[in-house]
Structure 1
């Protein structure tokens, strides 16, 4: 079975003038710190292959590999069919919209491909053209610039170009939130293509924003380790963990002691794994606000320790974990999950009662602050009518305090 094409076996530039035609279009690209104008070519679809590092489908590709598919053993057609479905599933409405436009007026925006046929920019347009070719039964072409990595382009250069295109050409970045986190994590932590400062410059954001994204990505990695699904980013996508992770980042930032931070993190991971609530973001927010930021925080953490151990051990005992395994583990933890839910509910209720009891005190404190702001000299200078009203209100306040 043939493997995905490389530069030696699929040299697009060598085909120019044969089955690849030059157009009169040009596209400007920023490469290695320079903006250059590149010729656009019409390329037969069968010569192209999807980019398996495409950030839009990174967790989908991760699922395929985790399920045991040897991507390198697939033929180009088999590989393209698999990835095409991922592109469709990742954002079907956007794909249909693009397809409708291409069908009506053709491809407007040229893509970018490597000399080996890998599509760097334009995977959705490539997908639409593949579908239209099958539906119409006619030859269609992908219009794109051809870049040759052998001309001094590193993987980091190509990734930098991809980031600038996706984030810097006034086009919305419609990545799934989890895919975006995985992309950031891989580019900065795993592949070390960029520092947080470099990454921020390439996507047009502040470095502090990128650090927040990376913080959330690292928390996602830690959670997957906690449930014995290390590296299975598609699990985080299917569980829709972006919102809960965002809440956790805010909660954990308040923890200054490292030991306390680890205790809180494990408690939050356990709560996330055992919750039956549909809105997990709201559930984690409630724990952060109504328990961990309240007076019964320490009691909750101590009470939750055994549950943390039970849940963690139940996942670690499995050989591997995916979505179906999570359901199986939770089924075997019904009593533990019920206890966890009871503890969270009881501690949240305690905080609500405590806050209700404190409302009169809070009201009096507010009143005291208002009284402290009264200037005695201003009272002395009041005209008789205003002073009479002032004394009336003082007397009324005394009566109310006597009632209390």
Structure 2
């Protein structure tokens, strides 16, 4: 809890949208030593996950915990922190933060970090304080505080600098988890997005949760960050939402994509994209599942071994045994290439289908009403089409 006796008034004010209305709040100066980072801040979600995978909890000492989280802020986006720090050193803090009376920062973690570093570097006593609006958490529900945080973090375009996986973690917490406070429509409104875009993000976030379960690392968000899963998962979402995949085939299609993501190296996003036509072909998907059935079982058992879980804690990633990895890549590549070849072989048929559609679009009643000159030109094109048809019939030995 902040010692109110250490808080100094300023002449500044700040507008905040809270409880669905804009209110003017006074800005005060608070000693940095009275504040603590918000451990639920979305921008460091995967770093918190990584820390807690090694430790049971954060230190009880607020200053010790602050030093740990400051490291996360530094690592998560060092360039943005550097810019903020340089700006504050040159022009002092221009924009007030928002903190709760218990000392937890709602908005302004990067400014807090910059000030802490400038203070430690002896840049001047003025950097020992942060300017902030001070809110009493008892006056607001947790949802109202979170709504305010979303408003502040998304109000300016340049502030939307989440790591893509940290962004998905926030989506999971705010919209999917059992105690999630928002509907998609509410969230879209608060972050100035569309409900359709938010629903799509929810699908990708759910795939992240499902993938981490698949590899035996539920809610270990740092592994998703380490494997740079945003691109592959977004590609997977586009593939799996297709109506070409029957409901009964969905889990098989998803598991094949997950096994591939876990096995592929290099440009994983492109390689997942290449599998689109394979998993959307029910017969080919069945063939892939049949060939990989034993391998997928082995992978599942491997993911759940204690030594694999222990290694994941140390390396923050999950590796597929070479034999299984090679088999998945081999089968996925074989069927991807087979599908590409099949599509290329059918390309002439698709072209003819399109040509027939265009001919069927010709208005025969309009043909009857054409002038003599237009009829002559029309007949010329018919003759040229007939010549091409006859030539192609000759190629296929058709009658």
Fold match by TM threshold 0.5:
yes
Q: 1:59 aligns with which of 11, 36, 46?
A: 46
Do the aligned residues in 2 keep the contact of 1:23 with 1:40 (CA within 8 Å)? Answer: yes
1:120 aligns with 2:110: no
Do the aligned residues in 2 keep the contact of 1:228 with 1:318 (CA within 8 Å)? Answer: no
Q: Which moved more, 1:203-212 or 1:372-381?
A: 372-381
Once the 2 structures are TM-superposed, how far is the Cα of residue 392 of structure 1 from its aligned partner?
Answer: 5.5
1:300 aligns with 2:300: no
Partner of 1:135: 121
Q: Distance in 1 between matches of 2:49 and 2:280?
A: 35
TM-score, structure 1 length as denominator?
Answer: 0.87
Residue segments in structure 2 that go unaligned for 5+ positions in a row: none
Count of residues in correspondence between the two structures:
386
1:214 aligns with 2:202: yes
Q: Distance in 1 between matches of 2:181 and 2:390?
A: 72
- Check 1:247–1:104 CA distance in 2 against 1; reply closer, same or farther (3 A cut): same
1:269 aligns with 2:258: yes
Do the aligned residues in 2 keep the contact of 1:66 with 1:232 (CA within 8 Å)? Answer: yes
Partner of 1:4: none
Q: Which moved more, 1:156-165 or 1:391-400?
A: 391-400
Once the 2 structures are TM-superposed, how far is the Cα of residue 33 of structure 1 from its aligned partner?
Answer: 2.2
Do the aligned residues in 1 keep the contact of 2:223 with 2:316 (CA within 8 Å)? Answer: no
Q: Which moved more, 1:222-231 or 1:389-398?
A: 389-398
Once the 2 structures are TM-superposed, how far is the Cα of residue 58 of structure 1 from its aligned partner?
Answer: 1.3
Q: Alpha-carbon deviations, 1:230-281, whole Å to 9, x = none?
A: 1211111111111111111122212664432111111111111111x21111
Do the aligned residues in 1 keep the contact of 2:226 with 2:317 (CA within 8 Å)? Answer: no
Residue segments in structure 1 that go unaligned for 5+ positions in a row: 1-6
Q: Distance in 2 between matches of 1:136 and 1:325?
A: 37
Once the 2 structures are TM-superposed, how far is the Cα of residue 168 of structure 1 from its aligned partner?
Answer: 2.7
1:23 aligns with 2:14: no
Q: Alpha-carbon deviations, 1:31-61, whole Å to 9, x = none?
A: 2223211110111111111111111111111
Partner of 1:111: 97
Q: 2:30 aligns with which of 43, 63, 70?
A: 43
Aligned-pair RMSD on alpha carbons? 2.5
Partner of 1:350: 338
- Check 1:147–1:381 CA distance in 2 against 1; reply closer, same or farther (3 A cut): same
Partner of 2:77: 91
Q: Distance in 1 between matches of 2:174 and 2:358?
A: 55
Partner of 2:227: 239
Once the 2 structures are TM-superposed, how far is the Cα of residue 208 of structure 1 from its aligned partner?
Answer: 2.5
Q: Secondary structure at the match of 1:397?
A: helix
Once the 2 structures are TM-superposed, how far is the Cα of residue 365 of structure 1 from its aligned partner?
Answer: 2.9
Q: Secondary structure at the match of 2:93?
A: coil
- Check 1:210–1:350 CA distance in 2 against 1; reply closer, same or farther (3 A cut): same
Q: Secondary structure at the match of 1:228?
A: coil
Partner of 1:3: none
Once the 2 structures are TM-superposed, how far is the Cα of residue 291 of structure 1 from its aligned partner?
Answer: 4.6
- Check 1:373–1:54 CA distance in 2 against 1; reply closer, same or farther (3 A cut): closer
Q: Distance in 2 between matches of 1:181 and 1:37?
A: 32
Once the 2 structures are TM-superposed, how far is the Cα of residue 114 of structure 1 from its aligned partner?
Answer: 0.9
Do the aligned residues in 1 keep the contact of 2:50 with 2:316 (CA within 8 Å)? Answer: no
Q: Distance in 1 between matches of 2:219 and 2:382?
A: 72
Q: Distance in 2 between matches of 1:129 and 1:240?
A: 31
1:401 aligns with 2:392: yes
Q: Distance in 2 between matches of 1:339 and 1:148?
A: 58
Q: Distance in 2 between matches of 1:22 and 1:250?
A: 52
Q: Alpha-carbon deviations, 1:77-121, whole Å to 9, x = none?
A: 211111111001111111111111111111111000111221111
Q: Secondary structure at the match of 1:296?
A: helix
Q: Secondary structure at the match of 2:121?
A: helix
- Check 1:45–1:358 CA distance in 2 against 1; reply closer, same or farther (3 A cut): same
Do the aligned residues in 2 keep the contact of 1:244 with 1:280 (CA within 8 Å)? Answer: yes
- Check 1:389–1:127 CA distance in 2 against 1; reply closer, same or farther (3 A cut): same
- Check 1:382–1:82 CA distance in 2 against 1; reply closer, same or farther (3 A cut): same
Q: Which moved more, 1:244-253 or 1:182-191?
A: 182-191
Q: Distance in 2 between matches of 1:391 and 1:211?
A: 50
Q: Secondary structure at the match of 2:298?
A: helix
Partner of 2:372: 382
TM-score, structure 2 length as denominator?
Answer: 0.88
